[in-house]
Amino acid sequence: MDSVGPVGLRQGDGAAQEGLPCPPGSSELVHQCLQQFKVTGAQLRQIQASLLGSMEQALRGQTSPVPAVRMLPAYVGSIPHGTEQGDFVVLELGATGASLRVLWVTLTGIEGPRIEPRSKEFVIPQEVMLGPGQQLFDFAARCLSEFLDALPVGSRGLQLGFNFSFPCHQTGLDKSTLISWTKGFRCSGVEGQDVVQLLRDAIARQGAYSLDVVAVVNDTVGTMMGCEQGARSCEVGLVVDTGTNACYMEEARHVAALDEDRGRVCVSIEWGSFGDDGALGPVLTTFDHTLDHESLNPGAQRFEKMIGGLYLGELVRLVLAHLAQLGVLFGGCTSPALLSPGAFLLEHVAEMEHPSAGAARVRTLLQDLGLSLGPSDAERVQHVCAAVCTRAAQLCAAALAAVLTRLQHSREQQTLQIAVATGGRVFERHPRFLSVLQETVKLLAPECDVSFTPSVDGGGQGVAMVTAVAARMAAHRCLLEKTLAPFRLTLKQLAVVQAQMREAMVKGLRGEASSLRMLPTYVRATPDGSERGDFLALDLGGTNFRVLLVHVATEGVQITSQVYSIPECVTQGSGQQLFDHIVDCIVDFQQKQGLSGQSLPLGFTFSFPCRQLGLDQGILLNWTKGFNASDCEGQDVVCLLREAIQRRQAVELNVVAIVNDTVGTMMSCGYEDPRCEVGLIIGTGTNACYMEELRNVAGVAGDSGHMCINMEWGAFGDDGSLGTLSTCFDASVDQASINPGKQRFEKMISGMYLGEIVRHILLHLTSLGVLFRGQQTQRLQTKDIFKTKFLSEIESDSLALRQVRAILEDLGLPLTSDDALMVREVCQAVSQRAAQLCGAGVAAVVEKIRENRHLEELTVSVGVDGTLYKMHPHFSSLVAATVQKLAPHCAVTFLQSEDGSGKGAALVTAVACRLDRLAHV
């Protein structure tokens, strides 16, 4: 059986150290006695697994059976990141018995010189410890004033951290209710009360200084937060003092008591009570049972009684007394002192185990207790101390391994690299406790790479650091909210946008000056389901160009397509070069599909701003999306295509319609749903179209029927109407674009620009010190480095914070968990504004249709395409919610288009052919 002995780890667990040493000439009775303190590797793993199970049960809030440990949120949501600076006051009550300590702590950040805290200890009179609670807190307030009187404080406000070392139920960083007094305190009227409020009231009664009690902290959390900044983040605190406890940073979504799904929170593991349910039975000795029976709380805190410094000396005393009574030690003699509880303290045990001076200290201490030592007694006593303390370190390691395993699994990391802050007199005074702990942790948690760092005055410096981190987070939160406030639009602001768009629509339809061109598309009907035949479709809207063969039949639409790339030299070359390349692609497609020589009706999706003069006539107004082919703007693109066809002899193509991709989207969905009368694109760019009453279209003859209007709404606001909603970040993105001052609506809501808006916000927040510790990175300075697809990924509900961090780290951004949360919040604010502005636009369109038709209620569908709408986890629902609020009399259904630019172009052509046949009939 693999076993772990008092001095280290036995070979059965792969360690190189020997087990329990048997001193030369030692009696078999000594050996048998100390064998009880051996803990096998299997037993340690069982303890590790049992504690981990209890932790997870408590985190989930399960109460049956009662968890063996309590997992208490400490409401500390961040660890230090080295920029914390300023002066802080700490009040420490209960950590040192019948006294309180006040500290003045100055933090200077990583790069500043360390300034030693100033402190003063005040003895609490017995009558105050046992009197009314108000008297105790008034005494604390007077001590604070007396301490601060000696410092150049003046009238400035100070932030205070409160270390209150008594059992409490904490419900907030600055809210903690005393459960029960311990350590000799019995003040009336305090149990069940918020101790922070009692302190605040006392400070107010004193009236001398402006002190803001920011945080109430226990010493374990203070230990973790007081850890010196190093290469690894310190996210675990471990205290082994008179008692023992631990804390660590847990994913907030796993803490049922919080009902919070973002970020991390420090959880205090009240593990001293582990084993009260009998889980430690196999490793309990007769001496543990005796100690527990004689304690003030029999049956409780069983784990603590095997580890805590308050009990190690007593366990040693019980073993020595037992061996003396067996005649193995001290010539079989005892002394009244040896038989008196409390005769051995932690300090005595540590001194007796000292590698060089230990033997001499054994003789001195035992002689002081009235004992006479035989030749081997000093060595045997040292072995007893080693057995008791080694077991304590191993049990502590098993518990710590449970915490580390929890962190590794919850963060889904193959290897967990982490620092553990240690505090307490056992670590400080015992010569081997830490080394045994480290070796055992390596054995039990081999996937965890752990470094141990002594905490710097957890009760003082650590509490000050909690206060500083809370102050930093509050200040950063304020700056973040101020930065994002312009992106959080009210319903009133959105209603104004809706009204402005409605007004611009009417003006554009009348031919008056407007930021909305409201271009007739000469598409006069949506599909009715009777369309049949084979059609060609061309789709030009970006650097990839598609040619499609679309077969429309009774059973549905079948599509065959091929993608061709357009080199940059072509998009930036001459118009003739561009359209010759397009025709070459069409000919190649026809040959591959066996269509050479056939003249099929062709629909041309041309996703650039055009003024249509007919269904097959479209004047290019201006290039967008990075195209800049010469001699095209102001020309009929259908004519340019037909001229290229003529240049390529022996090719016949019947160009029936030029189609905007937004119209194609509407027509594609209209084939499935006859109520679809609106098209919407939210992708790299954005646009909308809808079926308008022909009588309202000033530029086209006729008073009856309908006409699809291409709104070109990306340019909405180019007249300055969106000025009140535009931020400095929008202005930066606009100025850096290829068309400053144009497409202002598009630049606030489409995929080409949202990532850039986010990048500019992140730069601003970094300059304020809110993000990335204030360190500007070259990567973040790079234009377009933050793609809009990252918004979709970062905002995904299924993505853990770890994955968000991975996305940002791949961009070369050195970030903390706090940074990841704030970056996600920035993304959410930018995309939410985009979706709401889009929703306001859709609301203006559907309300216009409803009023055109004089309807009380309108039922209409909107066909939608675009990667932002389809891929973003919340965009579509935000658009729909906004439309519902702004257009309550319209029942709007959103349909995602399938290949609107390809299938839609073919359907426009098919509808045109159907109408043409009807006209001839």
pLDDT digits (tens, 9 = 90+) for 685-738: 899 999 999 999 998 887 888 999 999 999 999 999 999 999 999 999 999 998
pLDDT digits (tens, 9 = 90+) for 153-173: 888 899 999 999 888 889 999
pLDDT greater than 70 at residue 854: yes
Least confident of 238-242, 458-462, 707-711, 752-756: 458-462
List of long-range contacts for 135-139, beta carbons under 8 Å, 24+ apart: 135/187, 136/185, 136/187, 136/190, 137/198, 137/199, 137/201, 137/202, 138/202, 138/205, 138/206
Listed residue (722, 719, 817) closest to 773, CA to CA: 817
Please report the beta strands in 683-837, taking only residues with DSSP state E, as ranges in sequence order.
Answer: 686-693, 706-710
In sequence order, the 6+-apart residues with CB closer than 8 A to the CB of 745 are 686, 713, 714, 715, 716, 717, 722, 837, 841
| Res 5: pLDDT | 46
What is the Cα–Cα distance from 561 to 414, expressed in whole angstroms?
Answer: 44
CA 288/CA 392 separation, integer angstroms: 12
What pLDDT was estimated at residue 802? 67
CA 533, 536, 538, 539 torsion-angle sign: positive
Does position 49 have pLDDT exceeding 60, yes or no?
yes
Q: Is the peptide bond before 65 cis (omega within 30 degrees of 0)?
A: yes
- Catalytic residue check, 661: yes
Burial of 250 (C-beta count, 10 Å sphere; 0-12/13-18/19+)? buried
Question: Any idea which of 277-286, 756-765, 806-815 has the lowest mean pLDDT?
Answer: 806-815
* pLDDT over 70 (residue 801): no
CA distance 406 to 57: 12
Q: Respond yes or no: is residue 759 known to be catalytic.
A: no
Q: Which helix (H) or strand (E) holds 565?
A: strand 556-565
Residue carrying the six token digits 């919340």 = 874
Q: So what's the pLDDT on residue 193?
A: 96
Average pLDDT over residues 618-646: 91
Q: In what order do the strands lie in the sheet with 601-606?
A: 556-565, 544-553, 533-540, 601-606, 654-659
Structure tokens at 549: 């063969």
Ranges 273-287, 457-471, 593-607, 804-818, most confident: 273-287
In what helix (H) or strand (E) does residue 400 lie, and over which residues does it extend? Answer: helix 377-410
Q: How confident is the model at residue 16 (pLDDT cuts 50, 70, 90)?
A: very low
Residue range 593-621: mean pLDDT, rounded: 87
Query: Has residue 19 got a pLDDT over 70?
Result: no
632 close to 571: Cβ distance less than 8 angstroms: no
Query: What type of residue sits at position 386?
Result: A
CA dihedral 501, 503, 508, 513 (to 10 degrees): -110
Q: Which range (25-39, 129-143, 281-295, 514-528) has the least confidence?
A: 25-39
Give the lowest-confidence range in 8-17, 377-386, 399-408, 872-881. 8-17
**Helix (H) and strand (E) counts for the chain?**
30, 26
Only one residue has tokens 């305090």, namely 190
Please check the confidence at residue 9 and state whether its pLDDT lies above 60: no
Q: The tokens of 279 are what?
A: 């889980």
Contact 501, 716 (CB under 8 A): yes
Q: Which secondary structure element, helix H or strand E, spans residue 90, and what is its range?
A: strand 85-93
Distance CA 562, CA 328 (A): 93
Binned at pLDDT 50, 70 and 90, residue 30 comes out as confident
Rounded to an integer, what distance in angstroms lies between the CA atom of residue 173 and that of residue 73?
Answer: 9
At 192 the pLDDT is 95
User: Percent helix, strand, coil in the chain (nearest 5)?
Assistant: 45, 20, 35
The DSSP secondary structure of 279-309, one letter per residue, reads: TTGGG--HHHHHHHHHSSSTTS-TTHHHHSH
User: In the annotation, is 833 catalytic?
Assistant: no
Q: Active-site residue among 3, 607, 721, 861?
A: 607
What local confidence, expressed as pLDDT, does residue 798 receive? 64
Please give the Cα distance from 411 to 804 (Å, whole number): 12
Query: Where residue 263 falls among pLDDT bands split at 50, 70, 90?
Result: confident
For tokens 């009715």, what's the residue? 528
Contact call for residues 662 and 601 (beta carbons, < 8 A): no
Whether pLDDT at 24 is above 50: no
Q: Quick one: pLDDT band at residue 22, thresholds 50, 70, 90?
A: very low
Give the model's confidence band at 298: pLDDT under 50 very low, under 70 low, under 90 confident, else very high: very high
Which amino acid is present at 753?
Y
Q: Which of 264, 380, 391, 546 does the annotation list as catalytic?
A: 546
Whole-angstrom distance, CA of residue 87 vs CA of residue 92: 16
pTM for the complete prediction? 0.78
- Count CB atoms within 10 A of the CB of residue 359: 16
The mean of the pLDDT values for the chain is: 89
pLDDT in the model for residue 314? 95
More confident call, 3 vs 312:
312
Q: HEC string of 104-147?
A: EEEEECCCCCCCCCEEEEEECCHHHHCCEHHHHHHHHHHHHHHH
DSSP reduced 3-state for 722: coil
Name the residue with tokens 């290897």: 415
**Secondary structure of residue 773 in the 3-state scheme:** helix
Question: Residue ranges of the alpha helices (H) in 411-462?
Answer: 425-429, 433-444
622 vs 636: CA distance, rounded Å: 12
Cα dihedral 752→756→757→760 (10° resolution): -170
Under the banding of pLDDT at 50, 70 and 90, the label for residue 296 is confident
Distance CA 461, CA 118 (A): 11
DSSP 8-state code for residue 458? I
CA distance 297 to 314: 15
Name the pLDDT band for 82 (thresholds 50, 70, 90).
Answer: confident
- Give pLDDT tens digits for 182-211: 888 989 999 999 999 999 999 999 988 999
At 920, the pLDDT band (50, 70, 90 cuts) reads: low
DSSP E strand boundaries for 790-875: 858-865
Tens digits of per-residue pLDDT, 398-437? 999 999 999 998 888 888 999 999 998 899 988 899 999 9
Dump pLDDT digits (tens) for 646-661.
888 767 788 888 988 8
Among candidate residues 661, 718, 730, 734, the one labeled active-site is: 661
Pairing of strands 601-606, 654-659: parallel
DSSP letter assigned to residue 271: G
pLDDT of the residue at 821: 86
For residue 1, the model assigns a pLDDT of 40
750 near 775, Cβ under 8 Å?
A: no
Local structure of 596: helix, strand or coil: coil
Count CB-CB contacts under 10 A for residue 684: 20
Percent of the chain past pLDDT 70, that is, above it, reads 95
Nearest C-alpha neighbor of 681 from the set 509, 850, 478, 901: 901
Hey, what are 131's tokens? 């009197």
Q: Which helix (H) or strand (E) holds 610?
A: strand 610-614
